[in-house]
């Protein structure tokens, strides 16, 4: 038996990286996965990979998670496909980096929309389905950037959005408790799937900040998410779990 047998899990940002690994891992543990991404080709590759591994998955794409109407349609379709929802894994992201003195208003607003508004919108429209289920789990991907500041690379918008995700998660835990809905945020550090976002000096600066002196693997984040989404974590809610190689320990 899998840890997530019979559960229906929505996973956003599924076209690659942690999202694809999450789809594979959740399906491996018995979940029926609903995957979405703005990139339909990458999302379909994930669907093919999960089905090839024997998993149950339905893909939707493109889905713009900053568009209220698009999110409402997607969540309704996801719930209809498997007659309900049990897990919402808000994984999608896409920050614009830059120092505050140089960051454009457009980059600021895009980062907030992609990394914070999307979490609110997906959760907002999934909430009634979780309530009607009588229980549920919301996993929100934050970042170590939501916990501390970074001199390199500068990331004002990312830090602001991800700090807000941690705060929103706590509030969701409070509001969800009467409905047996748990909410947990996960704060990855330097993960290999995002290494290409940074130039070599920034990559070296990030690695040097970790105690383990290496980048993490997507599966090192996702396997924790599998546990948190399962009934084995039934007493865990309202917390933020750093998975960052020791960045915040010193």
DSSP string, 55-111: -EEEEE-S--TT-HHHHHHHHHHHHHHHTS--EEEE-------B-TTT--HHHHHHH
Neighbours of 83 (CB within 10 A): 9
101, two tokens: 């003195």
For residue 57, tell me if it sits in a domain.
yes
Predicted TM-score of the model (pTM): 0.94
Task: Report the CATH number at residue 106.
Answer: 3.40.50.720
For residue 241, tell me if it sits in a domain.
no
Which residues are registered as beta bridge partners of 140?
90, 185
111, two tokens: 């980062």
CA–CA dist 189, 191 (Å, integer):
6
Is there a contact between 32 and 82 (Cβ–Cβ < 8 Å)? Answer: yes
CA–CA dist 135, 46 (Å, integer):
28
For residue 2, tell me if it sits in a domain.
no
Least confident of 44-58, 156-170, 182-196, 234-248: 182-196
Confidence of residue 203 (pLDDT cuts 50, 70, 90): confident
For residue 80, tell me if it sits in a domain.
yes
Q: pLDDT digits over 20-45, tens only?
A: 999 999 999 999 999 999 999 999 99
For residue 242, tell me if it sits in a domain.
no
- Which residue range is the domain that position 68 belongs to? 8-235
For residue 1, tell me if it sits in a domain.
no
Domain total in the chain: 1
For residue 250, tell me if it sits in a domain.
no
Please tell me the predicted confidence (pLDDT) of residue 151. 76
Q: pLDDT digits over 46-62, tens only?
A: 999 999 999 999 999 99
48, two tokens: 């093919």
For residue 69, tell me if it sits in a domain.
yes
């Amino acid at each position: 038996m899998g840890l997530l047998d019979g559960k229906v899990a929505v996973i956003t940002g599924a076209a690659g990286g942690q999202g694809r690994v999450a789809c594979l891992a959740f399906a491996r543990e018995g979940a029926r996965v609903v995957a979405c991404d703005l990139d339909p080709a990458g999302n379909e590759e994930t669907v093919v990979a999960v089905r090839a591994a024997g998993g149950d998955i339905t893909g939707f794409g493109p889905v713009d998670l900053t568009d209220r109407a698009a999110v409402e349609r997607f969540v309704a379709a996801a719930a209809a496909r498997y007659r309900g929802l049990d897990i919402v894994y808000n994984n999608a992201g896409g920050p614009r980096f830059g120092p505050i003195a140089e960051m454009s208003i457009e980059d600021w607003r895009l980062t907030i929309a992609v990394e914070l508004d999307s979490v609110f919108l997906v959760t907002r429209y999934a909430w009634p389905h979780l309530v009607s289920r009588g229980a549920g789990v919301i996993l929100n991907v934050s970042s170590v950037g939501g916990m501390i500041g970074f001199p390199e690379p500068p990331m004002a918008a990312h830090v602001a959005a991800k700090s807000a995700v941690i705060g929103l998660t706590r509030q969701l835990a409070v509001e969800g408790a009467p409905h047996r809905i748990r909410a947990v945020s996960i704060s990855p550090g330097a993960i290999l799937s995002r290494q290409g976002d940074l130039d070599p000096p920034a990559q070296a600066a990030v690695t040097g900040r970790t105690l383990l002196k290496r980048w993490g693997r997507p599966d090192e984040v996702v396997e924790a998410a599998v546990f948190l989404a399962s009934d084995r974590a039934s007493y865990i809610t309202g917390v933020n779990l750093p998975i960052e190689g020791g960045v915040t320990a010193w």
